[in-house]
Amino acid sequence: MRLNDKVAIVTGAGSGIGKEIANLYANEGAKVIVCDLNEEAANDVVNQITSSGGQAVAITANVANEEDIQHLFDQTVATYGTLDILVNNAGIMDNFVPIAEITDELWDRVMSVNATSQMRTIRKAMSIFLEKEKGIIVNLASAAGLQGSRAGVAYTASKHAVVGLTKNVAFQYATKGIRCNAIAPGGVNTNIGTTMSEPDAFGMERVMSGIASNPRSGEPSEIASIALFLASDDASFVNGTIVQADGGWMAY
């Protein structure tokens, strides 16, 4: 029970990696806030957790909306009294759109969900963490945050922003008992592809040009195991680190 009695928010927890993290955290003793835009999906995850003897509640939120983030944290504190762990998992793709074709609307939407939301949730969590002088943040970055063409320009820029955000927060608050790390998955079998509609042909061709070097796709449970390590005392000396989880793809 590595997270016994810890309170954890997991965004985008209705499916994929977030769902696996929420379930694993609950199995390790955490009280989990299952946050997702899809209310039905969030409730399904809560039912899975509680039916197995865990503790969890669902909170519907659009992480791109500041008011929803305020509500998320207010409800978390009202329900469990505090917060110990924040997992920023929610994210969307960008249809592989290259810079020549990107619109302000698509750029703003991807940056808002993937990067600005993480800034806002961390900013809100700090009011709790600084008072306690203790807190853990786990951000979901991506191979696209470390490489140049694993996605379109907006997604790539947003995940590079997550990497920078993670390192900045980690160092600046290291003396305050707060740790901030990120996971950079490669290809993982999730439903994030449903956030794409009509992929840009040129952009997709350029992105997929290196796919043959990918040893394999990962499973959400494999990423969740890393998120558990980073949230536990086993990682007490791990701070400001971007954990690559890609089966060796970026080693090529």
User: pLDDT tens for residues 65-76?
Assistant: 999 999 999 999
Active site residue 80: no
Please give the helix or strand (H or E) that residue 126 lies within, else none: helix 117-132
pTM value is 0.95
Selected catalytic residue, list 25, 80, 155, 173: 155
> How far is 53 from 56, CA to CA, in rounded Å?
10
Low-confidence ranges of the chain (pLDDT < 70): 192-195
Q: Is the dihedral of CA 172, 170, 232, 114 positive or negative?
A: positive
Question: What CATH topology corresponds to 7-251?
Answer: Rossmann fold (3.40.50)
HEC string of 63-104 equals CCCHHHHHHHHHHHHHHHCCCCEEEECCCCCCCCCCCCCCCH
What pLDDT does residue 196 have?
Answer: 72
At 30 the three-state DSSP class reads: coil
So what's the pLDDT on residue 192? Answer: 66
pLDDT of residue 207: 86
Q: Looking at residue 140, what is its pLDDT?
A: 98
d(CA 252, CA 249): 6
**Tokens at residue 86, please?**
């924040």
d(CA 162, CA 230): 16
